[in-house]
Structure 1
Amino acid sequence: MKFTHMIKAAALIGAVSSVALMSGCSTNPSASLNGMKGGGHEYLLTVSRPNQLHVIDTETNKIVRSCDVPGVFGQGTVEPSPDGRIAYVGTNKWEDVAGFDITNCDMVFFAKQSDKTVTVKSFVSLAVSRDGKELYTIQNPTRKLSDRYEVMEPQLAVYDTSAGLDAKPIRTFPVGRQITKITAMDTGEVILGGPDLQAINPQTGEIRMLSKLQHWDRPADKWVQPDAFAMHSLGEHVDEFIMPYFTIKWNGDPGDMEKAEFWWGMSRVDLKTGEVEQTETVPFEFIIFNFITDPEDSDVIYGAFNTLSKHNIREHKTLAVHNMEHTYYDLNMTHDRTIYVGGTSSDISIHDPDTLEKIGSIQLPGDMSTSGMRIAYLK
């Protein structure tokens, strides 16, 4: 009996060890994972043409490895798993999703969303549950008939992340149109960034409003319906979701530009509590594609496009502006506040958060186009 118990105990220990190795977890935060640092070390993830996922060490600002992504270059959406080990990439003209182990480039997940009769596009939308067990996409299907295309109802598709290389949805729920940027909260809900900011329960399909934008209830003779931009950065460095918007406040008659105020605004969601903040941030002076929050001061945000800018949203004041060498679509930052500005071309520009001055650059083998830049915390 004692010998049997010993065998069972040994088997249990072996099973637990195998799970730990597979998940990329380690009790030693400095343990090496195929030459990469664990313990929450930060890696920058992005995609460039022809179709490669790049893993960049934010300590050295060097490319650790580049993983070949199957299919034609898509929109370059990247979504890291909670443990930082897996990077999910939208590929093949916005139709497929591939998941890679960033420590060795092994493809561990693949979902082909289209078939012979229905073409499915997922515009930017990728999210992983906070426990890493489920992957979410917004599917926009179109049925190909002999004489026409039939536009079908969009839906949230839920995948099991352990489904391997032939993953199929385990649940689907109808959603509204024009949904792009999505992310998961600690509540279990998934934020839907579209005409408004909503949250859906991926177990039941129940949808609730988080922040009204196109359907806000401000008087039309005082405010212009906002134009929201739901793409790129998601704020993993401070555990939040930001969706910028632009609006106009009429101080005279509607259309009177002499008295009008032009504003950037944002809807910001705390991913731990679900608390929502909607506010006009700073006057519109130049184009901004995305905002990110300073991890040391939530009143300070940064934006990028043709300029890199720094703003205080409580004072409605622009603190600093740095002219960029060319247009950049996206930005992100690490816990130590180093700013990375990328997208559009083949270089990532690195900047000091206090002065906004350029302090470095990372050259990629191809242009990023609309690709996002995400921070993975490898555990």
Structure 2
Amino acid sequence: MKFSKMFKAAALLGAAGSVALLSGCAMNQSSALNGMKAGGHEYLLTVTRPNQLHVIDTETKQVLRSCDVPGTFGTGAVQPSPDGRTAYVLTNGAEDVYGFDITNCEITFSAKQSQNGEKVKTFISLAISGDGKELYTVQNPTRKLNDRYEVLAPRLAVFNTEDGMDAKSVRTFPVDRRITKIMTMENGEVILGGADIKAINPENGETRVLSALQSWARGADWIPPDAFAMFTQGEHVGEYIMPYFTIKWNGAPGDMEQAEFWWGMSRIDIATGEVDERETVPFEFIVFNWITDPADSNILYGAFNQLSKHDLSQNKTVAITDLDHTFYSINMDRDRTIYIGGTSSDISIHNPDTLEKIGSIQLSGDMSTSDLRIARLL
């Protein structure tokens, strides 16, 4: 009996110790994350002038912290790491990349791309490997000589994120000109958005065409599409999506009276590499980007002066609402809430079913051409 009581007492003491230990771990984790929720909780990332990275809780719609970004404003391109902990920001006139711990604004990575007499610019293009170990940029270098500027060939640059501060590229490979938004696929290839959409193997530089746009072979009845590759989004559904505009001539080429004007898209599943290239809806107004509804891949949303909803199964625009002003960028969280930003200092929040405005987030400066990215903090 006494042994039984001793056993129970020991068990209770052990359980209490385990609870205390677990509580301590929880407090330590909470402390390490500065009160931020992990476990896949989503945060919205964007950059404003003069140069700040903002971390916004998608649950409360509040700005949790604003991190000062070194250098002058670049393009506002942001790339979250796979674990959501780090936000890589293109800054200093689109030359340098800094990595921020979004839980405390600590700078954990930097890469100054202009080196050895070269002036390097990166236009939008930031991507990271699926394991978070490599960061990719497309570099557009020039060299200043005594009497002229020498324009050098663009290249994909590969950085090791573990190199931390003052990282240097460990590999480079030649790529096409006019590359802007890029994204990695699960097979490790990097999608390159340019005149055509290609994929490059960042280990050996081998490239292949995913979606032929400027080089498509549709004959004289179609004009080569004008693709808009400014903002990177699609992480909420695991895709890369590129909108384009094209014209189909039903009469003689140039006969506008009989022509059809179309929005189209090249949409790539980053898990399978499957490409969905097609015309979507008639061109009736401008959008800067599409995002896909996670509940129905046939539903796309676009924004510029209006927020619009489109049904690909019908090739039809099904809803439109006017916005308070022009917006450039659009994204959506896992709960299907729509966020529209860029241009000014406010992010407009909308219901995806009705397109009704349901809120607004005011920032300290204008976003200009900045991304709106979703980070899931693990």
TM over 0.5: yes
Residue 314 of structure 1: how far off its partner (Å): 1.9
Indicate conservation of the 8 Å contact 1:233/1:292, yes or no.
Answer: no
**Is 2:371 the counterpart of 1:372?**
yes
Q: Tell me, yes or no, if the aligned pair for 1:338 and 1:352 is still in contact at 8 Å.
A: yes
Q: Is the 8 A contact 1:32 1:38 kept in 2?
A: no
Percent identity between matched residues is 70
Task: Note if contact 2:197-2:212 (Cα within 8 Å) is conserved in structure 1.
Answer: yes
Q: Distance in 2 between matches of 1:88 and 1:231?
A: 17
Quote the residue 2:341 is aligned against.
Answer: 342
1:184 aligned partner, one-letter code? T
Alignment-derived partner of residue 225 in structure 2 = 226
Alignment match, 1:83: 83
Q: Which residue of 1 aligns with 2:270?
A: 271
Question: 2: CA distance between counterparts of 1:145 and 1:281?
Answer: 47
Corresponding letter in the other structure for 2:212 = K
Partner of 2:115: 115
Partner of 1:305: 304
Aligned residues: 353
Verify the 8 A CA contact 2:233 2:372 in the aligned structure 1: no
CA contact (8 A) 2:80 2:375 kept: yes
Deviation per CA, 1:239-275, whole angstroms, max 9, x where unpaired? 0000000000111111111111000000000001111
- Residue 207 (structure 1) aligns with: 207
1:1-80 aligned within 5 A: 33-80=33-80
Measure, in 1, the Cα distance between the counterparts of 2:46 and 2:373.
Answer: 7
Name 1:129's counterpart in structure 2. 129
- Name the aligned partner's letter for residue 304 of structure 2: F
Report the aligned-residue RMSD: 1.5
Q: Kindly state the Cα deviation for residue 117 of structure 1 after the two structures are TM-superposed.
A: 1.7
Which position in structure 2 is the counterpart of 1:176? 176
After superposition, give the CA deviation of every residue in 1:320-345 in whole Å (9 maximum; x if it has no partner).
Answer: 00111111000000111000000000
Cross-structure match for 2:21? none
Letter in 1 for 2:322: N
CA distance in structure 2 between the aligned counterparts of 1:228 and 1:288, rounded to whole angstroms: 12
2:97 match? 97
Offset at 1:116?
A: 5.9
Deviations 1:102-146 (A, max 9, x none): 000000000000136210000000000011010000000000001
SS, match of residue 162 in structure 1: helix
| Equivalent residue letter for 1:308 | L
Q: Distance in 2 between matches of 1:332 and 1:185?
A: 19
TM-score for both structures, normalised by structure 2: 0.92
Opposite residue 108 of structure 2, the aligned amino acid is V
Q: Which of 1 and 2 has greater Rg?
A: 2
Q: CA separation in 2, counterparts of 1:96 and 1:46?
A: 17
SS in structure 1 at match of 2:67: strand
Distance 1:189 1:48 in 2: 31
Structure 2 equivalent of residue 162 of structure 1: 162
Q: CA deviation at 1:32?
A: 7.0
In the aligned structure 2, how far is the partner of 1:94 from the partner of 1:35? 32
- Could you tell me how far apart the structure 1 residues matched to 2:100 and 2:29 are? 22
SS in 1 for 2:281: strand
CA contact (8 A) 2:195 2:213 kept: yes
Tell me which stretches of 4 or more aligned residues in structure 1 moved more than 3 Å: 28-32
Q: Is the deviation greater in 111-120 or in 242-251?
A: 111-120
- Residue 34 of structure 1 and its aligned partner are, at CA, apart by 1.2
Indicate conservation of the 8 Å contact 1:156/1:173, yes or no.
Answer: yes
Q: Matches of residues 240-259 of structure 1 in structure 2 within 5 Å?
A: 240-259=239-258
Q: Deviations 1:188-226 (Å, cap 9, x if unpaired)? A: 100000000000000000000000000000102x00110
Please give the alpha-carbon distance, in whole angstroms, between the structure 1 residues aligned to 2:143 and 2:32.
48
Find the counterpart in structure 1 of residue 138 from structure 2.
138
Residue segments in structure 2 that go unaligned for 5+ positions in a row: 1-24
